[in-house]
Amino acid sequence: MALITLGSMVGQASGRVGSVIYSHNRGGSYVRNGTIPITSTTAEALAAKIRLGSLASAWQGLSDAVRLSWRSYAEANPVLNRLGQTITLQSNAVFIGLNARIVASGNPPIYAPPITPAPGGLLTIAQTCDIGPGGFGLTFTTTPTGAADALWIQAYQHSSDALNNVNNQLRFCGISGLAEASPFDHEALVTARLGTMVAGQFLTTFVSVFGTTSGLLSTPLRITSTIVDTTP
């Protein structure tokens, strides 16, 4: 799905033109291919569906006062979409979105909105991807992360170092420990999610600082196209 910005000649677009569908939601106007939905049955997809279903039920069980507090939080904390436009999410979307991260990290959900801001992001980061006797890991500053913070790691293995736009291909690989110090070996996390690393392939990794008690993420730092090699 691609976001679009409409000009003065077209204020709104909705419907299908051939195989292309134009529509809009709270995040703005967008265009997508009209495809037949495919049901994903991977373990990760099924786990995500279970988390979302559980959190949707939890939202229904909140009191009106607590729901109002989430609405106030959502209105006070707008987010940027991929076009850099400021949008306000619905209160239930904020509740489910933050808690989906928290539960995925193995922590219990929160029922009141966060009272602390997102953690500060990393200042620098570098990656080595040697699947032989050499090093595999992330070297970063500032180190260590906060006492309740961890590294939030997303990655994508690909065959071309010229590939720039990988946002739709990124997969959440996992988090580090709390108060993680540099360097951090993320090979096991990446391999468990993406499969065996292959020498000659490239690994693009996005790393944020994750507040485990708030569900908030810092702005990620991107490591582009690190070649996977193996020391003899």
Give tens-digit pLDDT for 158-209.
998 887 788 889 999 999 999 999 999 999 999 999 999 999 999 999 999 9
For position 165, what pLDDT does the model report?
Answer: 82
Same domain, yes or no: 53 and 90 = yes
Tell me how far CA of residue 120 lies from CA of 54, 116, 192, in angstroms. 30, 11, 28
Same domain, yes or no: 96 and 186 = no
Domain that holds residue 165: 124-227
Same domain, yes or no: 95 and 152 = no
For position 191, what pLDDT does the model report?
Answer: 96
Span 27-43, average pLDDT: 65
Same domain, yes or no: 187 and 219 = yes
Q: How confident is the model at residue 32 (pLDDT cuts 50, 70, 90)?
A: low
Would you say 117 and 215 are in contact if contact means Cβ atoms under 8 Å apart? no
Name the nearest CA neighbour of 134 among 230, 28, 26: 230
118 in a structural domain: no
Would you say 119 and 146 are in contact if contact means Cβ atoms under 8 Å apart? yes
Same domain, yes or no: 54 and 24 = no
Same domain, yes or no: 85 and 22 = no
* Domain count for the chain: 3
116 in a structural domain: no
Q: Is the pLDDT of residue 141 over 80?
A: yes
117 in a structural domain: no
Q: Is the pLDDT of residue 37 over 80?
A: no
